[in-house]
Structure formats: structure tokens, C-alpha cells
């Protein structure tokens, strides 16, 4: 793989991450606006909105901060990126598993809608990050 091709793939990866982070912040904000407008206090939606806002903000901030440091990579830099991506894929899969455990345990042990909302938000974020990172990993492995 040439360095300019890798740079372009990395830019597209960060753009996807920034778009997902922005969409997550927008969804989280809309959840809170709807809850305030309807004067509702449903803990399921509130906890889901918190997960979307926090994770989306972190993802968007990371993508924006990393964008300025992009440059052409040599072979060792590409290897480090590949290993970081595989590490992140493992973390993303773990996030899906943890979110599932939170949601299931919240539902089975007392029907806690807050835990169900937080777990669902974590599963959604982990799955989306897994797909975004897997796209870049597939480009690098070609």
C-alpha cells in the first residue's frame, strides 16, 4: 500500500468517525429536547441520551484533534496503525459485550429502564465504532 493511499483511507476513517460522533451528539440532544418538551422523566431515554451525548462528543473531539496530526506514514507507522486498529476492534467488541451485560442485568434484576437505556446506548456506540474501525482495517489489510 502506498503512503498516499493510506493517508486518504485514514482521512476517510476520521471523517466517518466525526460524522458518527456528530450524529450521536445530535441524537442525544434531540432525546433531551423531546424529554423537556414533553416534560417526561423516563429514565430509559434519559440514560440512552446521556450515552449518545458523551460517546459522540468524545468521538468527534478525537477525530477533530487527530485530523491535524495526519501525515504520510512509513512501513513502521502503518504497522502501528494496523495494531492500534485491531486493539480498538477488541475494545469495541468488549463495549458491545459490556453494554449487553448492563442492559440484560438491568432488565432481569428489577426491570430497571435506566440500565436498559444505558446498555442499549453502549451497544449501539460499540457496534458503530466496530464497523468504522473494521472498514479502515480492511483497507489496510489489502
pLDDT score of 1: 64
User: Which residue has cell 449518545?
Assistant: 52
Compute the Cα dihedral for 41, 43, 45, 51 and give only its sign: positive
* pLDDT tens digit sequence for 96-105: 999 999 999 9
125/2 Cα distance (integer angstroms):
31
Q: Is the pLDDT of residue 58 over 70?
A: yes
Per the structure, the count of domains in the chain is 1
pTM strictly above 0.85: yes
134/111 Cα distance (integer angstroms):
34
Could you list the residue range(s) of the whole structural domain that residue 73 is in?
A: 3-140
Mean pLDDT of 54-82: 94
* pLDDT tens digit sequence for 14-26: 999 999 999 999 9
Q: Pick the range with the lowest mean pLDDT from 16-20, 58-62, 110-114.
A: 110-114
C-alpha 24: how far from chain center: 9
Inter-axis angle of helices 3-38 and 43-67, nearest 10 = 150
Amino acid at each position: 500500500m502506498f503512503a498516499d493511499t493510506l493517508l486518504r483511507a485514514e482521512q476517510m476513517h476520521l471523517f466517518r468517525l466525526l460524522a458518527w460522533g456528530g450524529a450521536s451528539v445530535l441524537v442525544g440532544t434531540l432525546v433531551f429536547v423531546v424529554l423537556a418538551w414533553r416534560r417526561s422523566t423516563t429514565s430509559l431515554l434519559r440514560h440512552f441520551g446521556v450515552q449518545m451525548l458523551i460517546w459522540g462528543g468524545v468521538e468527534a473531539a478525537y477525530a477533530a484533534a487527530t485530523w491535524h496530526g495526519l501525515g504520510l506514514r512509513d512501513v513502521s507507522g502503518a504497522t502501528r496503525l494496523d495494531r492500534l486498529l485491531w486493539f480498538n476492534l477488541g475494545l469495541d467488541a468488549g463495549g458491545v459485550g459490556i453494554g449487553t451485560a448492563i442492559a440484560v442485568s438491568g432488565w432481569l434484576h428489577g426491570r430497571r429502564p435506566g440500565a436498559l437505556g444505558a446498555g442499549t446506548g453502549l451497544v449501539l456506540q460499540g457496534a458503530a465504532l466496530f464497523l468504522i474501525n473494521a472498514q479502515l482495517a480492511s483497507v489496510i489489510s489489502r
